[in-house]
Amino acid sequence: MDPSLWAEISAVEDRHWWFTGRREIITHLVSTLLPDGASILDIGCGTGFMLEALTGRYDAWGLEPDALIRHKSRQAVHGRILPGDTTDHSRLLGRRFDLVLLLDVLEHVEHDVKALRAAAATVAQNGRLLVTVPANPRLWSAHDERNAHYRRYTAETLAAVLDAAGLVTSRLTHFNSRLYPIVRAHRILSARHTERELQIPPAPINSLLRWIFAGERYRLEHGYGYGSGLSLAAVASIRPTG
């Protein structure tokens, strides 16, 4: 990933419509999966933006491999972000969690099945994983290159890697669907200027985009989902043996 990118993200993630809308969607989905007080592990948690929204209701912890990002993590969760990644769980001391989050992480990993198998080792009995990834390989652009992506997924390829990792998928859907045409057009227009993707629109437009995006959580909650979109979300559990 571009070394300057995390600095840009941390400067806007608590205001930009994509980050704030996505956080509303994820926290809402988590609330449908877990009771209050359940344990959560956010692998690849970055600055702790998502973790911060979960700690008041859950026993939430994060793993982040980049020492500089951990140093810049949010004060509210600074002590809850440990060194580690999809394959390095040494600082967890064998602890397992009711829900493990891999939020836009797999696309950064060369061997995604291996990463999922390793992450599954942190899931408690009867626990689950919540995975999000960028969708549609035809949307590959400079955005993906700047973000050091190895791939974008289809619903079929994501289902296949989850299955290969020994996981059973109970829910798989696209999201970031309502704004698909607008975001797609913006990606094309800013293809040579990817830094513009993180510019915050004027306040009224930013609020409107967040409202439209975050509103997808209700349809996702009831299992209807979307047939296309910029992202995919999946809920999976460990396949029983024997």
* pLDDT value of residue 221: 80
Identify whether the C-beta of residue 238 lies closer than 8 Å to the C-beta of residue 123.
Answer: yes
- pTM of the full predicted structure? 0.93
| Predicted confidence (pLDDT) per residue in 25-76, tens digit | 999 999 999 999 999 999 999 999 999 999 989 999 999 999 988 988 888 8
126-162 residue pLDDT tens:
999 999 999 999 888 888 888 899 999 999 999 999 9
pLDDT top residue among 207 and 198 = 207
CB 232 within 8 A of CB 133: yes
Q: How would residue 187 be classed by pLDDT, with cut points 50, 70 and 90? A: low
Q: How is the chain split into domains, by residue range?
A: 5-238
User: Is 189's pLDDT higher than 90?
Assistant: no
CATH number attached to the domain at 5-238: 3.40.50.150
